[in-house]
Structure 1
């Protein structure tokens, strides 16, 4: 190829690298899961089942078509765990780390891809960002795994090795908001055990708020500690947190409280969920049921037995999701908040959109509208297709499709009964939800179009 041809050849954008990386990992994982050694009975697994499971694990969703606890062998479970970890950290972040360790340097393109995957709000050394992401993930997972290991060993009489295995698996699944569990009833058997439920809840919240929030919180803690150690030292006045962090923490916290209160109150007397539990167990189960849709996918009560109103609230919480640049899915709480500020500004008749004493750019507003509308469209199209393919109720199908798009994993139990065509649709929806509508669209676009002129302005009637 000549120099001119190489110069004119379009480079693969970071979004394209991310899409290609995820698809490659899913394919490799699916092939490994089809092997006889991956199944507990040694007979192998069908390609559609393996592909669905690999997609669900890599996209940290948690929807399953076979029982994780009984169908897969230890090797198959380890494959699933590896896919969860890779999907949670981001394929491109791991690729950049590998380049750092092997070649002692990271290419610019890989750094850009890693930043796009982690949506880092900082501009700095890409290697440092990637190492901080991975280091933070491993530390949090290790702490949660240690607590769970002790509990499984002391409280349930499991051997130390098996307890450590259970602790590590559920810690990684919790921090990455995957929702995979090594029990057939997920976490229903631990509904009243705070030593299991609370560490997993902490993991899903920390992973769900996003790495930029975690990094800024850590910097704020260091600033407080530095001021306490040197009270006479003068430091320049600056905002404690960025708009992104403030918006994420406030909206995430508010939705968490609303979800916990509404679902606990709605299910308090339901004989199929919270009804038979004691007072303290009801509170613990209600807390977990309100946090899990943010997009962990674990369940300590029977989702299929929940009231239709509770399922609708769960749909909303799942669709909104968690924080950007974390392991959670959905349209993200910042997107939801920006849309709220856009509506508020329009109601007030203000020409620009302001949030927390900051102006929101028109580009960000358009991105928020695009993400939300593409998400609604994708969920509705797949839900409509599943209604033609199956005989299930709308509320069950809607839980399934929103759960797939928001990479949650909560289900009323209909996933194994959905035909292969429907399962493939759900797998595609999981991939779309993990990568994000705008990321996927930009990756598939052949080129960017530059508008060289503007048409005359006209205002159609709205409403």
Structure 2
């Protein structure tokens, strides 16, 4: 049954990997003190690792041993490639070839419409013939970009008084690079990113890695192909880049304006670094998870703005979470078209099919429902306020990793709610809904039409 449903197969594979990683982290060898970690903590960390979220219920810089950190590092890389891509790779390993089924599953990571429609007819972010190239791009991106970022930040670790051995500096530079590019946000050192909170160069490198990771592998593949062949960039690539850039710049401006007078955050820095911090926090809402200020010290208005930015997230088929920037763009284009009385959704001299709009609406409604239910449960189980519960829940769903401090202090029952929320956010609302569906039914007739009043 699961083999006949790509989405169901993908969910089973992804969940099995999470439980396998939880068992590895549960082992005494994974903890720095040689004692077995409480299983609910190991499971939460495994979910956060494979879902590339970055939320934690233990001190990531001191709790885990070298073996545990290696397990987490490998888990970050495994989780970065995506749920459906993981399933396609496993299918390829089993069958020893990249067959049509594996191509369809992997291509669905670039367009969720394929979960129901197979090789849909409209122009795709990833065409079936390009799936092999995209899988290669995923691997090369992880290796090349993470290596470059690691080499860029390595001098910072070597110059730090906290690192007495060069091998520790090298290990942590690669860990940070992987954590940034995969949009995870874990830090392997005691004190985390806070010890570099005033280093604009180090934070800038992390921000660049997060931004690249949030674009999505199909976009990176298309840009790499454009550099080689100057082949025309598709609408998906253009819309992703434009929307991501607009949200980043708008978030930068708004966060800076709201926090420039707050002495506990941006207002406590000099003018230039305060402006930089606004941009850094805006990038991190893409799904990065690093912060150089106390999130809980932010103004309520800023928290709401970051809630909205995190909820949107990054690009499709990326390491970022959220409803994705293209989903927001489609909803915005639909609103503009309706206001102008235009029947078709149009962008970059192309028409967007109606089924794409239906998918965008479904994704958004599923996401709102999940966040609302999870927030209510977290408030009930932890006694937290609305501000903290909603922020950490959206951070979990959008696999961001930023926290007000609630996650580390919440009781196990509340953290398990957040773990499920992370899982749902990384699996994807459409993939999860398709996996729940018992079968696909094709309706061979149409009922009479009748309009209702809305709005």
For 1:178 and 1:265, the matched residues in 2 are separated by: 27
Matched, 1:383 2:375: yes
Distance 1:398 1:89, change over 3 A: same
Match of residue 330 from structure 2 = 338
Q: 1:106 aligns with which of 98, 106, 111?
A: 98
- Give unmatched runs, 5+ long, in structure 2: 112-124
Q: Indicate the larger mover: 321-330 or 122-131.
A: 122-131
Q: SS of the residue aligned with 2:346?
A: strand
Within 5 Å, give how 1:38-117 maps onto structure 2.
38-90=30-82, 93=85, 105-117=97-109
For 2:436 and 2:74, the matched residues in 1 are separated by: 27
Distance 1:81 1:247, change over 3 A: same
Match of residue 164 from structure 1 = 170
Q: SS of the residue aligned with 1:366?
A: helix
Distance 1:321 1:190, change over 3 A: same
For 1:247 and 1:66, the matched residues in 2 are separated by: 39
Query: Which protein has the larger Cα radius of gyration, Structure 1 or Structure 2?
Result: 1
For 2:292 and 2:444, the matched residues in 1 are separated by: 56
Matched, 1:122 2:127: yes
Q: 1:435 aligns with which of 427, 433, 446?
A: 427
Structure 1 residue 123 displacement after superposition? 2.4
Q: SS of the residue aligned with 2:192?
A: coil
- Give unmatched runs, 5+ long, in structure 1: 1-8, 225-237
Q: 2:149 aligns with which of 144, 148, 152?
A: 144
Q: SS of the residue aligned with 2:77?
A: helix
Q: Indicate the larger mover: 88-97 or 205-214.
A: 88-97
Matched, 1:363 2:350: no
Q: 2:315 aligns with which of 323, 332, 338?
A: 323
For 1:98 and 1:427, the matched residues in 2 are separated by: 24
Structure 1 residue 99 displacement after superposition? 7.2
Q: 2:402 aligns with which of 404, 410, 429?
A: 410
Matched, 1:265 2:257: yes
Calculate the TM-score normalised by the size of structure 2.
Answer: 0.92
Calculate the TM-score normalised by the size of structure 1.
Answer: 0.90
Match of residue 116 from structure 2 = none
Matched, 1:348 2:340: yes
- On the 8 A contact 1:400/1:411 being kept in 2, the answer is yes
Per-residue displacement from partner, 1:43-99 (whole Å, max 9, x unpaired)? Answer: 111111111110011001111111101111111111111111100013554565577
Q: 1:207 aligns with which of 201, 210, 213?
A: 213
Match of residue 461 from structure 1 = 453
For 1:193 and 1:15, the matched residues in 2 are separated by: 43
Q: 2:158 aligns with which of 147, 153, 161?
A: 153
Structure 1 residue 266 displacement after superposition? 1.4
Per-residue displacement from partner, 1:311-368 (whole Å, max 9, x unpaired)? Answer: 0010000000111111111000000000001111111122222222211111100000
Matched, 1:420 2:412: yes
- On the 8 A contact 2:82/2:319 being kept in 1, the answer is no
Distance 1:422 1:287, change over 3 A: same
For 2:37 and 2:2, the matched residues in 1 are separated by: 40
- On the 8 A contact 2:13/2:87 being kept in 1, the answer is no
Match of residue 182 from structure 2 = 176
Q: Indicate the larger mover: 405-414 or 75-84.
A: 75-84
Matched, 1:221 2:231: no
Structure 1 residue 294 displacement after superposition? 0.5
Structure 1 residue 132 displacement after superposition? 2.0
- On the 8 A contact 1:201/1:288 being kept in 2, the answer is yes
Match of residue 6 from structure 1 = none
- On the 8 A contact 1:322/1:330 being kept in 2, the answer is yes
Q: SS of the residue aligned with 2:109?
A: helix
Per-residue displacement from partner, 1:169-188 (whole Å, max 9, x unpaired)? Answer: 01111010001112454322
For 2:350 and 2:84, the matched residues in 1 are separated by: 32
Per-residue displacement from partner, 1:17-47 (whole Å, max 9, x unpaired)? Answer: 2211110110011111111111111111111
Q: How many residues align?
A: 441
- On the 8 A contact 2:14/2:86 being kept in 1, the answer is no
Structure 1 residue 144 displacement after superposition? 0.6
RMSD of equivalent CA atoms: 2.0
Q: 1:19 aligns with which of 11, 34, 59?
A: 11
Match of residue 311 from structure 1 = 303
Distance 1:43 1:155, change over 3 A: closer
Q: SS of the residue aligned with 1:68?
A: coil
Q: SS of the residue aligned with 2:129?
A: coil
For 1:427 and 1:99, the matched residues in 2 are separated by: 27
For 2:189 and 2:272, the matched residues in 1 are separated by: 23
Structure 1 residue 455 displacement after superposition? 1.5
Match of residue 132 from structure 1 = 137
For 2:84 and 2:432, the matched residues in 1 are separated by: 15
For 1:20 and 1:118, the matched residues in 2 are separated by: 19
